A = this chain, B = another copy of it.
């Protein structure tokens, strides 16, 4: 059984060997560019880890690991286009480096290339595996639509927000785990626990991402803080603050999140001071902790010796900064 680090090396090696040297270049250059930019590669690692936990071997699910990561990168490519995000992983996004049409069509092709990986090898569970992949893909699209809908809605509830991040982020982590387990012919009850582990770890991870954007240390976070506030993003923090606020604070928050002032830093400071007053830092930490706890409980419930789960404990604790 491989550790987190060993699996990560395997996944990186896999992608280094993949080249998209086909014609037309206008279609495949952006795909090659996207897939070689790197990223955390966490989904293929989860897929392999789940597979090995139930007695499989990472090498035997390499094709599915490539497939799930190719799919993930397709969603990022189209999301960046829809959100008009200029930068991804420190490099220009595809629609900026090429154009909108290239981003649309190269993305579509990447979705099909993900399928090509999955279809590379037969398996007794292939139909279930492909169904899991496809239903997950549909949910990810639904999540992105909810996310875009929320931009123009002023009545988003916390539970709607949680459902959105479940669809947009958590189901793909959970789906990767489930697929890895299906390849190892794991028992249905264990697969369900594993899936729930992925959902709760995914929610914890996304809530932590929201938290870091406001309260994180730029050096460790690796991104500018305060960007969600500048962009008027309705994160968990903002929605929790609305929930906790008195009428005056409610109006103030609503007003602040409907403006794009030139002095964005003052706006960030003002919002953060309301967050501090309303105890948003601690309330969000509690929500993360709760999801993290549910994730670990789900992992515990799997009917395997605890030592077989070590890599998954390691991955989720590392992602959530609980490994120090």
Task: List residues of A whose CB falls within 8 A of some B CB.
Answer: 22-24, 26-27, 78, 81-82, 100-101, 104-105, 107-109, 111-113, 115-116, 119, 122, 126-127, 130-131, 134-135, 137-138, 141-142, 144-146, 148-149
Are B122 and A138 in contact (CB-based, < 8 A)? no
Q: In whole angstroms, what is the CA distance A27 to B27 when docked?
A: 26
A142 cross-chain contacts in B, Cβ below 8 A: 22-24, 27, 109
Tell me if A105 and B145 are in contact (CB < 8 A).
yes
For the complex, give the distance between the alpha carbons of A135 and B120 in Å.
12
Q: Which residues of B contact A127 (CB under 8 A)?
A: 119, 122, 126
CA distance A142 to B25 in the complex (A): 10
- Complex: chain B residue closest to A110, CB-CB: B141
Sample 6 A-B pairs with CB under 8 A, ordered by A number. Answer: A78-B108, A105-B141, A105-B148, A115-B134, A119-B130, A122-B127
Q: Which of B105, B137, B138 contacts A144 (CB 8 A)?
A: B105
Given A108-B108, A116-B135, 8 extra CB contacts under 8 A: A82-B101, A104-B104, A105-B145, A107-B108, A109-B138, A112-B137, A112-B138, A122-B127
A141 touches B119 (CB 8 A): no
Contact of A130 among B27, B105, B130, B144 (CB under 8 A): B130
Label chain A's interface by main secondary structure. Answer: helix
Give chain B nearest CB distance to A27 CB in angstroms: 4
Residues of the B chain whose Cβ atoms lie less than 8 Å from the Cβ of A23: 142
Q: Determine whether the beta carbon of A149 is less than 8 Å from that of B101.
A: no
**Is the pair A24, B149 in contact by a Cβ cutoff of 8 Å?**
yes
In the bound complex, how far is the Cα of B141 from the Cα of A26, in angstroms? 11
A134 x B108 contact (CB < 8 A): no
CB-CB under 8 A from A138, the residues of chain B are: 109, 112-113, 116
| Residue in B closest to A114 when the chains form the complex, CB atoms | B134
Q: Note all chain B residues with C-beta closer than 8 A to A101.
A: 82, 148
Residues in B whose Cβ lies below 8 Å from that of A145: 24, 26-27, 105
Least Cβ distance of A150 to chain B in Å? 10
Chain B residues closer than 8 Å to A104, beta-carbon distance: 78, 81-82, 104
User: Pick the contact of A78 from B24, B105, B135, B148 — CB < 8 Å?
Assistant: B105
Give the distance in Å from the alpha carbon of A142 to the alpha carbon of B31 in the complex: 13
Q: Which residue of B lies closest to A109 (CB)?
A: B141
Q: Is the CB of B116 within 8 A of A149?
A: no
**Chain B residues whose CB sits within 8 angstroms of the CB of A134 once the complex forms:** 112, 115-116, 119
Q: Which residue of B lies closest to A145 (CB)?
A: B27
Cα separation A161 to B18 with both chains bound (whole Å): 30
What is the CA–CA distance of A134 and B108 in the complex, to the nearest angstrom?
12
Quick one: closest B residue to A101, CB to CB? B82
In the docked arrangement, what's the CA distance between A130 and B82, Å? 29
Given the known interface contacts A24-B146, A130-B130, A134-B116, the answer about A141 and B78 at a Cβ–Cβ threshold of 8 Å is: no
Most chain B CB within 10 A, of A23, A78, A141, A144, is at A141
B113 near A148 with CB under 8 A, answer: no
| Nearest Cβ on chain B to A26's Cβ, whole angstroms | 5
Given A104-B82, A119-B134; A26-B112 close (CB under 8 Å): no
